[in-house]
Amino acid sequence: MRGNVIIVGLGLIGGSLGICLKKAHPEAKIVGIDTNPEHIQLAKVLGIIDESANDLTESASDADLIILSTPVQQTEKLLRLLTGLPLKENVIITDTGSTKEKIMILAEQLNINSFVGGHPMAGSHKSGVAAAKDILFENAFYLLTPGGNKEKAEILKDWLIGTKAQFVETTPSEHDKMTGIISHFPHLIASSLVREAEKFQGELPLLSRLAAGGFRDITRIASSSPEMWRDITLHNDRNLIDLLEGWKLEMEHLIDLLRKQNEEEVFEFFQSAKQFRDELPVRTRGAIPAFHDLYVDVPDYPGVISEVTGYLAEDRISITNIRILETREDIYGVLVISFQTEEDRERAQTCLQSHTDYDLFIP
Ligand SMILES: NC(=O)C1=CN([C@@H]2O[C@H](COP(=O)(O)OP(=O)(O)OC[C@H]3O[C@@H](n4cnc5c(N)ncnc54)[C@H](O)[C@@H]3O)[C@@H](O)[C@H]2O)C=CC1
Ligand SMILES: O=C(O)C(=O)Cc1ccc(O)cc1
Mean pLDDT of 59-67: 98
What are 265-275's pLDDT values in tens digits?
A: 999 999 999 99
Ligand 1: centre distance to CA 339 (Å): 25
Least confident of 61-75, 165-179, 214-228, 274-288: 274-288
Which listed ligand is nearest to 119 at the C-alpha? 1
Ligand 1: centre distance to CA 314 (Å): 38
Q: What is the pLDDT of residue 329?
A: 45
| pLDDT higher than threshold 50 for residue 26 | yes
Mean pLDDT of 303-329: 83
Residue 290: which residues within 8 A CB-CB, separation 6 or more?
A: 282, 283, 284, 342
Say how far residue 321 (Cα) sits from the centre of its chain.
17
Residue 130: which residues within 8 A CB-CB, separation 6 or more?
A: 42, 46
Q: Could you give the ipTM of this predicted complex?
A: 0.99
| pLDDT higher than threshold 50 for residue 314 | yes
Ligand 2: centre distance to CA 42 (Å): 23
| pLDDT higher than threshold 50 for residue 287 | no
Q: What is the pLDDT of residue 331?
A: 40
Task: Locate CATH 3.40.50.720 in the chain.
Answer: 4-170
With a 6 Å cutoff on the Cβ, whether 35 touches ligand 1 is yes
**Which letter does DSSP use for residue 212 in this model?**
T
What are 131-175's pLDDT values in tens digits?
A: 999 889 988 999 999 999 999 999 999 999 999 999 999 999 999
CB 6 within 8 A of CB 53: yes
CA separation, residue 188 to residues 121, 183, 195, 226, 249 (Å): 18, 9, 11, 11, 16
Record: fold of 175-279: 6-phosphogluconate dehydrogenase C-terminal fold (1.10.3660)
With a 6 Å cutoff on the Cβ, whether 180 touches ligand 1 is no
Q: What is the pLDDT of residue 326?
A: 57
Counting residues of the chain whose pLDDT is more than 90, the rounded percentage is 77
Mean pLDDT of the chain: 92
Banded model confidence at residue 196, pLDDT cuts 50, 70, 90: very high
Please give the backbone phi and psi of residue 349, each rounded to the nearest 5 degrees, phi first.
Answer: -60, -45
Rg (CA), the chain: 23
Mean pLDDT of 322-334: 60
Banded model confidence at residue 282, pLDDT cuts 50, 70, 90: low
Mean pLDDT of 184-207: 95
Please give the backbone phi and psi of residue 344, each rounded to the nearest 5 degrees, phi first.
Answer: -60, -40
| pLDDT higher than threshold 90 for residue 213 | no
Task: Locate CATH 1.10.3660.10 in the chain.
Answer: 175-279
Work out the angle at residue 197's Cα, subtended by the Cα atoms of residues 193 and 199, and round it to the nearest 5 degrees: 120
Q: What is the pLDDT of residue 227?
A: 98
Ligand 1: centre distance to CA 256 (Å): 42
Q: What is the pLDDT of residue 284?
A: 52
Q: What is the pLDDT of residue 192?
A: 97
With a 6 Å cutoff on the Cβ, whether 124 touches ligand 1 is yes
Please give the backbone phi and psi of residue 163, each rounded to the nearest 5 degrees, phi first.
Answer: -75, -20
**Which letter does DSSP use for residue 211 in this model?**
T
Task: Locate CATH 3.30.2130.10 in the chain.
Answer: 292-361
Instruction: Round to whole Å and give the CA distance between 207 and 300.
Output: 25
Testing ligand 1's pocket by substitution, the residue of 36, 40, 69, 144 carrying the most ligand atoms inside 8 A of its CB is 69
CB 323 within 8 A of CB 336: yes
Ligand 1 atom nearest to CA at 78: 29
Instruction: Using DSSP, state whether 149 is helix, strand or coil.
Output: coil
Ligand 2: centre distance to CA 3 (Å): 30
The full DSSP string for 329-352 is: -SS-EEEEEEESSHHHHHHHHHHH
Banded model confidence at residue 87, pLDDT cuts 50, 70, 90: very high
Q: What is the pLDDT of residue 290?
A: 57
Among protein residues, the one whose CA lies closest to atom 19 of ligand 1: 11
The CATH label, of 3.90.79.10, 3.40.630.30, 3.40.50.720, 3.40.50.1220, for the domain at 4-170 is 3.40.50.720
Mean pLDDT of 3-12: 98
Q: What is the pLDDT of residue 333?
A: 60
Write down the architecture of domain 292-361 according to CATH: 2-Layer Sandwich (3.30)
| pLDDT higher than threshold 50 for residue 328 | no
CB 93 within 8 A of CB 115: yes
Burial of 3 (0-12, 13-18, 19+ CB in 10 A): middle
Among protein residues, the one whose CA lies closest to atom 4 of ligand 1: 123
What are 92-103's pLDDT values in tens digits?
A: 999 999 999 999
Q: What is the pLDDT of residue 330?
A: 46
Banded model confidence at residue 308, pLDDT cuts 50, 70, 90: very high
Instruction: Round to whole Å and give the CA distance between 271 and 276.
Output: 9
Cα dihedral angle (312, 313, 314, 316), rounded to 10 degrees?
90
